Structure formats: C-alpha cells, structure tokens
Structure 1
C-alpha cells in the first residue's frame, strides 16, 4: 500500500534569528525525501530487535560500525548511507531498559552538533522515544524545541496512518 504523506505543521515559536521547523506527517518514514537525514533511538548494545529499530537495522545495516563508535547513553552514533546521515540516538544502556528525558536530550544535543558541523538542515524521524520506550510525546516535543529552536534544522516527524481492520477482514 502506497501511502502519501499528509503534512500537518506543529505549533512552535520562532524568533527572527532562527528558522527551525517541526512538522508532523502521516506516512512512511522511509519514503521521506532522499536529501533528509534520518534519526531514531537505540540502546548502547545496538540490539535493534524491536519496533522501528528493526527496520533501520534491515535497511541500513552497520551494527558493527555503530558498535565501533563506542557511544554511551546520552550520545549519538552516526552512519553515512545513501548520501545522507542516519542518526542513532543512544538513550539507554540495554535494549530492555527505558530511556530518560535527560538521556534523550543529551543525545539530541549530540545530533544537533553533528548536524551543525556537517550542514545538515533536514531530519526525518519517528516519534522518538514514544513507541516501545513509552516517553510522552508532549515532553519530547518540548525537548526538540529546546534543543533545535536556535538552529536552521527542519525536523519532520512521521507517524504511520491509522488503519481500521474489521473483525473478520483478512489482513492481506
């Protein structure tokens, strides 16, 4: 099923010295424009065995490259794939742990620094930390604003469109 993104701007404040944006999109993250970097959360052990991390591992590989970077919780590992950066926000020690808002903020700060040094101005991501990790999206949005509001980095957050399946309807 080919789902076209639906654009819904999120509310944010913007001053004259910055041009950051936060946009919410319903669609497939992996169909984002090819000039946008990607980001998601993982653990230090780089397990990526559940949730959207499985799709990142399958699409971009590089688990050994990530492990060689020896990043710890609160840092950001990076791969270069298909002409763009893929950011791995390290938000917890082990896959079975839960992140904190502080570790998420620290890893986002690391990603921001890399973006600024490498002229990255577009990042697409899922609702980071809010799936299996169960962080609250309202608080994550505030962290994104705090970290990126004085940059020219545009962030697009993807969520899959909701589908309704009837009780006796086949899933094919």
Structure 2
C-alpha cells in the first residue's frame, strides 16, 4: 500500500503511543527553541542522541515505549538554517530507518518551516516524493 499523507490541526503529542514521531534538530542537539524544546523535555535521552554522532543530513533516533522518535539533523548549530538539500538527506535516512524498523505510522510537525523558515509547500512535496512508494501513513500536525 502506498503512502497515506494527511495534515490535521491538533497536538502532535496526543497521537497514540505506538505512532513514531519526527522533528528537525541541529547537530549539536541543543533543542533550546520551538517544538524541539518539547521533544527534549518529553523524551530526554540527549546524551544517547549526542553519542550517535550523526552528521548534518542524517537522522538520530531513540525509542520510547512502543515508538521511535526521529531527530532529523538538518543543520550544524541551532542558530543556523537548514537547506532543502540537508532536509532531503535527513528524510531519506529516516525513510530507510522506517523500513528497517517496520514503521508504518509517523507523525510530525511542519518540519523545517517554523523557526527554520523553509517553505511548507516545498517541504510537503518533498516528504510525499520520498515516501511515495512506501507502506506508511504520515500525519502532519499543526498546533
């Protein structure tokens, strides 16, 4: 079954506990602003994420109960801005991790488009293109 992609208004953290989550971070794992702060406070494990030593364009992850939490590393420092190229690389890495870990439900905010200032229409098309052949349901939450 191919990708099911939807956008809904709601709280990302209200999804079922077996739905994996994703968001963008910097390589330094600062997570000091925006929704990243909520991820940091809710899931912690910052040292584990840092120890993965993921480069820009990669994807770190942790597990929490029945779900994976993906950290798309799209820039070097928290005050830098990502590019569509680094976001694409991170998304492709996350896609491979989803396949490897048999993940079929993923929820995320409008990644790269809050503090990072990327264009949501472009990001949305990119996500749908990368996952178009995959058996996965992706829900984008707007708070």
**Corresponding residue for residue 140 of structure 2:** 157
For 1:37 and 1:83, the matched residues in 2 are separated by 8
1:87 aligns with 2:70: yes
Residue among 40, 44, 53 paired with 1:61: 44
Q: Within 5 A, what are the aligned runs for 1:1-80?
A: 18-80=1-63
The gaps in structure 2 that reach 5 residues or longer are none
For 1:66 and 1:35, the matched residues in 2 are separated by 20
Larger Rg: 1
Provide, for residues 144-170 of structure 1, a one-character-per-residue CA deviation record: whole Å limited to 9, x for no partner: 01110010111000001xxxxxxxxxx
Higher relative contact order (CA 8 A, sep 6+): 2
**Corresponding residue for residue 7 of structure 1:** none
For 2:133 and 2:66, the matched residues in 1 are separated by 26
* Structure with the largest fraction of helix: 2
| CA drift at 1:83 | 1.4
TM-score normalised by length of structure 1: 0.82
TM-score normalised by length of structure 2: 0.98
For 2:68 and 2:24, the matched residues in 1 are separated by 14
Aligned length: 143
For 1:62 and 1:35, the matched residues in 2 are separated by 19
The gaps in structure 1 that reach 5 residues or longer are 1-17, 161-172
